[in-house]
A and B are shown apart, each in its own frame.
Chain A
Amino acid sequence: MTYTDLLGRATRILFFTGKGGVGKTSLACATALVLAESGKRILLVSTDPASNLDEVLGVELTGQPMAVPGAAGLCALNIDPEASAKAYRERVVGPYRGVLPDAAVNSIEEQLSGACTVEIAAFDEFMKLLGNAHATSEFDHILFDTAPTGHTLRLLKLPGAWTGFIATNTTGTSCLGPLAGLQAQRSLYESSLHALADGSTSTVVLVSRPEPSALTEADRTRAELSQLGVSNQCLILNGLFVAQDQGDPAARALEARGRQAVEGIPAGLAVLPRLDIPLLACAPMGIAQLRGMLKPGTISSFTDFGAYRVPPSAIPLSDLIDAIEAAGHGVVMTMGKGGVGKTTVASAIAIELAHRGHRVHLSTTDPAAHLAVTVGEPVPKLQVSRIDPAVETARYTAEVMARSAAQLDAEGIALLEEDLRSPCTEEIAVFSAFARTVAEGEECFVVLDTAPTGHTLLLLDAAEAYHRDVARTTSDVPEAVRHLLPRLRDARFTRVLLVTLPEATPVHEAARLREDLLRAGIQPFAWVVNQSFAGSGFRDPVLVERGAREWPFIAEVRDRFSSRLALIPWSAEAPVGPERLRRLANSRAGTDAEGADT
């Protein structure tokens, strides 16, 4: 499939989805731009809580469609869940200011500031765009730059789950939480579901890098969406590299790795229409570069290699592990944008600590995580687990039923069972499991590979809300939950590692995450720059340029955010299995400026 074919197939609604860091935003923007330039009226929407659409388009967006300067016919908006939640709260509370006593009004506001409300408010905005043709009638195409996969799936699955929930809720008193007000919008949800499943209206564009883990995840998304009746899908393979300098062994290894991944493409993906995009020397920023993304060769060639040096203060990951090991126990959390290698870094740290003789528990809250695949085989002293929402929900439900059943009659039990089927239950259950896992850090090392940025923030946000709740509630609060926030704030107990790639978007998202952590009273321990081309000794011009372009971002991290900075050079071997992960933990970037200087 060529790019013209993709544009020819463009339905009114296009979803771009894939693992974090595969280039969804860039490709959604570039596609929107080309469609707009063909004379169509385009609305580009980000539903990612940690959206960087602003940065890529070079314009500050709001929750309303806004014309993008320099791109006639293109409008964009950001669904900001926090802002949506605030607006939702104000809609509920506003009319009662001065009518009800202030204390009552304040207490309503506080009740509506939990993570549920944020999720539901964002969902409501999404539904309006998807289900209400009138709200978007002035646009020919609507493109959704959807959030990282786990979140996307939740977003896309919710209409099904909640429509089902509303239909089977018989007592009317059940817990819909802040969703209660939305029952009236049932017809809106139904038309959204229709739009999603109708292949002449909607297309899902699966975006992947030529890497096994990204392809596996794309295939999982494909299967899940197909199950939901969404069958009109196509695939964009972004970042295919062909070595220009065949005498560069590292470049040939990179090319071979991509080729192998494409050869091993899952069968379900292989039958989809596919577009290949070559690896670019830099991630496109701004209208001019986005335009160039689809017309290769138009991005200006890079010649200034003068500043190309690995920062002298960058240390190998093993130096960070030394500092972590010294504490004897505690929690390590890897955070950052999706796709930067949080799982790899978390696994490498866990395996190295276990190898040094410590008891380690490696776990994740990411619904789409693949820890077991990364670790590969059993390692002595290392326990690998995941916080599985379905399992945790079942466990939590059983616990609540067991505790409450004694004081209820049959009818009361039925009522409670129905209540526990609400969307909130999963959120609470996952949260409790997270708190429990953190508590284990008192006894051993706990390494948590956390979910992508937005989801993580919601979790921490929930921690804050619960912290407030815990102080006043009379209910039976588990000890782990009560101690969670103090533990996360204790720099000697919890060590947060911000993981990034040496590129603009992941660095800036990690910086925003750092701000949020500081606001929550959590000081990050160190930064880890992963997959650095700069330290890897490439000679191929595209890869040398990529390496050279990393430098300002590495310097930015070092100078503005953290002097404790570990750098992991790009490696030709996939970071899977204990041996390779230990090698990665101990690998040292060469100060190989010679490749650039010659």
Chain B
Amino acid sequence: MKKLEVFDPPMCCSTGICGPGVDPTLVRFAADFHWLAGQGLVVERFNLAQQPQAYAANPTVTAALAQYGNRCLPLILLNGAIVSKGCYPTREELAHMTGVE
């Protein structure tokens, strides 16, 4: 089974509703992520502000952070390999990179 992991930048929460204004990208991605979970993938999402352990424990993630800094976040891994850096893909892009129809 395919496994998709999203390493978010440090945030109060994953929909970004806690900022001074709501970031529409975050709202959209929260819904897309939820949709992906319903397509038979194992999906996990981490927040640097709340789960730094997940970042520290993953050598691919720590290497990317050391090389690019926080700019590489959000970092998306498919089966442990980086498939996207520094942006939230659209639902079509997510479907394409995970092979979901």
Contact = CB atoms under 8 A, between A and B. Distances in A.
B17 A411 contact: no
A407 B70 contact: no
Contacts of B50: 92, 178, 180-181
B34 A473 contact: no
B39 interface: no
Interface string B20-41: 1111111110111111000000
A160 interface: no
Nearest to B48: A108
B19 interface: yes
A465 to B, nearest CB: 9
Given A178-B50, A428-B18, A473-B21, A103 B12 contact: no
B69 interface: yes
B89 interface: no
Contact of B18 (A93, A112, A412, A424): A424
Contacts of B32: 412
A177 B13 contact: yes
A103 B73 CA distance: 12
Nearest to A427: B18
Interface string B45-58: 10011101101100
A431 to B, nearest CB: 8
A478 B22 CA distance: 10
A99 B66 CA distance: 10
Interface in A412-453: 412, 415-416, 419-420, 422, 424-425, 428, 431-432
Given A175-B13, A475-B16, A100 B52 contact: yes
Interface in A478-529: 478, 481
Contacts of B33: 173
Contacts of B35: 409, 411-412
A96 B52 CA distance: 7
B65 interface: yes
A412 B35 CA distance: 8
A111 B17 CA distance: 14
B52 A92 contact: yes
B84 interface: no
A416 B27 contact: yes
Nearest to A405: B27
A181 B45 CA distance: 15
Interface string A169-196: 0010111111011000000000000000
Given A101-B69, A181-B50, A416 B24 contact: no
Interface in B51-91: 52-53, 55-56, 62, 65-66, 69-70
B28 to A, nearest CB: 5
Contacts of A469: 19-20
Interface residues of A, number: 54
Contacts of B24: 403-404, 407, 475-476
B15 interface: yes
B20 A466 contact: yes
A96 to B, nearest CB: 5
A104 interface: yes
B13 A101 contact: no
B56 A100 contact: yes
B23 A474 contact: yes
Nearest to A413: B31
Interface string A273-309: 0000000000000000000000000000000000000
A367 interface: no
B14 interface: yes
A181 B30 CA distance: 20
B31 A411 contact: yes
A408 interface: yes
A475 B66 contact: no
B15 A416 contact: yes
Contacts of B9: 107
Contact of B14 (A99, A173, A409): A173
Contact of A415 (B16, B31, B55): B31
A400 B14 contact: no
B15 A108 contact: no
A110 B28 contact: no
Contacts of B20: 428, 431-432, 466, 469-470, 473, 475, 477-478, 481
B12 A475 contact: no
A387 interface: no
Contact of B22 (A96, A171, A178, A476): A476
A176 B47 CA distance: 12
A422 B69 contact: no
A478 B19 CA distance: 11
A116 interface: yes
Given A409-B31, A412-B30, A174 B13 contact: yes
Contact of A474 (B17, B25, B49, B56): B25
Interface of A: 92-93, 95-96, 99-101, 103-105, 107-108, 110-112, 114, 116, 171, 173-178, 180-181, 400, 403-404, 407-409, 411-412, 415-416, 419-420, 422, 424-425, 428, 431-432, 466, 469-470, 473-478, 481
21 contacts: A96-B55, A101-B66, A107-B9, A107-B70, A111-B49, A114-B12, A114-B18, A173-B45, A175-B18, A176-B13, A180-B50, A181-B50, A400-B17, A407-B24, A411-B31, A412-B28, A419-B30, A466-B20, A475-B16, A475-B23, A476-B24
Given A404-B22, A422-B17, A424-B17, 4 more contacts: A99-B56, A107-B9, A403-B22, A412-B27
Top 7 A-B pairs, shortest CB-CB distance? A412-B31, A175-B13, A475-B23, A111-B10, A111-B49, A475-B21, A476-B21
